[in-house]
Structures are given as structure tokens and as C-alpha cells.
Chain A
Amino acid sequence: DGGITQSPKYLFRKEGQNVTLSCEQNLNHDAMYWYRQDPGQGLRLIYYSQIVNDFQKGDIAEGYSVSREKKESFPLTVTSAQKNPTAFYLCASSTRATNEQFFGPGTRLTVL
């Protein structure tokens, strides 16, 4: 089955700890994206990558880091520098042709 997987579904973290969210796709898409959703707001772009070994900051990159060592994988690290990390995180990937984005099921991160 082709698709995007994110793990874990729920994640709890103590304040001051870094945590890494996984995103894997087997759709052979070049571009991958990380979004954050907060109540009452639209999806906000954290980081995106158009090609392996390259990525760009989105609108709210502060306190986050990413890597793109493989086409299939785009992990997001939420660092202790992120002041308000509790949120729902969505990963997506897209084709070159239409930029139609396909989404994973999301990870809900809660900082205790």
C-alpha cells in the first residue's frame, strides 16, 4: 500500500526534552512538508524539503529542526527551544506535477 506514515500517534514529553517525530512515505514523492495545527488556526508550515539533502524553513521554524537524508524520510525534531510545542503535527508529501499534497495521520504531541 502506498502512503505516508507518521509515528507515534501520541507522544508525551517532559519540558526541556528534545523529541523526534517520524514521517515516512513510499509514494516516490520529491517534496515533503511538516505542518503544525493549533485550535482555531489553519495548518502552519514548519519546514519543507523539495529534494534530498535540502530543506527550507517555513513560517514557524524556530525551535524545530529537520533532516532529509533519504527521499522516503523527513523526521522532525522538536527541541527544548520551542516555547509552545503542544500541538498536532502533520507530515505531507507532494508530486512535482500538481503540488497536491498527501497527508499522514498526524502525531499529537503533549508537553507535560
Chain B
Amino acid sequence: ILNVEQSPQSLHVQEGDSTNFTCSFPSSNFYALHWYRWETAKSPEALFVMTLNGDEKKKGRISATLNTKEGYSYLYIKGSQPEDSATYLCAFNSGGYNKLIFGAGTRLAVHP
């Protein structure tokens, strides 16, 4: 059974703090790793799709790294803002059209 783990489960930070969280996934049969942001009362929104070992992607203050050999990805948020408060999901894809296996998410709350 493929398992995707995210840690921590939840995180509370102050505005301006930088933070990061982890997604662990199977290191075999890797095709892609997806990160989504899910704000309350909205649909999950795609942040990054990462496919190559060593990939680093950035969107504004959010960036992500990928290590497919050891099976983990980090998501970093620099200078957190209250609008960054959301649940961050990662999802593992073992090949093409194969279904995504989602982690349970990390719930981030940024306090003013």
C-alpha cells in the first residue's frame, strides 16, 4: 500500500516567520509530486508539480524542493502572512494517468 505522510499535522506561526513542512512518499516508481494549497471554503489550488530529483520550484514567497531518491519534499514559506493560512496537501503520482495518493495535509495558521 502506497503511503504519503505529511508533517507536522498543524502549525501555528506569527506573521513574518518563515516556516517549512515535509512530505514523505515512496522512493520507488516515482513519476511526480504535487503540492496543493487548500483555503477554507475554497477548492484546492495547485502550487507545484515536481518531476525531477533535485527540482526546486518557487512561486512568490513559497518554494519547494524534491528528493526522489530518499522520498521527501519540503515546502517553504518565507515571511508568512495571514493570507498563507491554509491546508497544504502533497500528492504522489507513480505514473502518468495513475491516481494521486494524497497526504493528510499540514494545516498552517499564521497569526497577525
Chain B contact patch, size range:
20 to 34
**Which of B55-63, B66-74, B94-102 lies at the binding interface?**
B94-102
Q: Is A82 an interface residue (CB 8 A)?
A: no
Pick the residue among A35, A41, A45, A99 that contacts B32 (CB under 8 A): A99
Q: Is B104 an interface residue (CB 8 A)?
A: yes
**Which of A11-19, A62-70, A72-80, A100-108 lies at the binding interface?**
A100-108
How many chain A residues have a CB neighbour from B under 8 Å? 24
Contact present for B43 and A103 (CB under 8 Å): yes
Kindly list chain A residues whose C-beta atoms are within 8 Å of the C-beta of B42: 105
Nearest to B96 among chain A residues (CB) is A99
Count of A-B residue pairs with CB < 8 Å: 51
Contact present for A43 and B89 (CB under 8 Å): yes
A31 to B93, CA, bound (A): 14
Contact present for B89 and A90 (CB under 8 Å): no
Contact present for B49 and A96 (CB under 8 Å): no
Q: Is A89 an interface residue (CB 8 A)?
A: no
A103 to B34, CA, bound (A): 13
Kindly list chain A residues whose C-beta atoms are within 8 Å of the C-beta of B49: 98, 100
Given contacts A90-B44, A102-B46, A103-B43, contact A42 B97 (CB under 8 A): no
Kindly list chain A residues whose C-beta atoms are within 8 Å of the C-beta of B98: 99
Contact present for B99 and A103 (CB under 8 Å): no
Q: Is B4 an interface residue (CB 8 A)?
A: yes
Nearest to A94 among chain B residues (CB) is B97
Contact present for B43 and A50 (CB under 8 Å): no
User: Contact flags (1/0) for B31-50 with A, using CB distance below 8 Å?
Assistant: 01010100000111110010
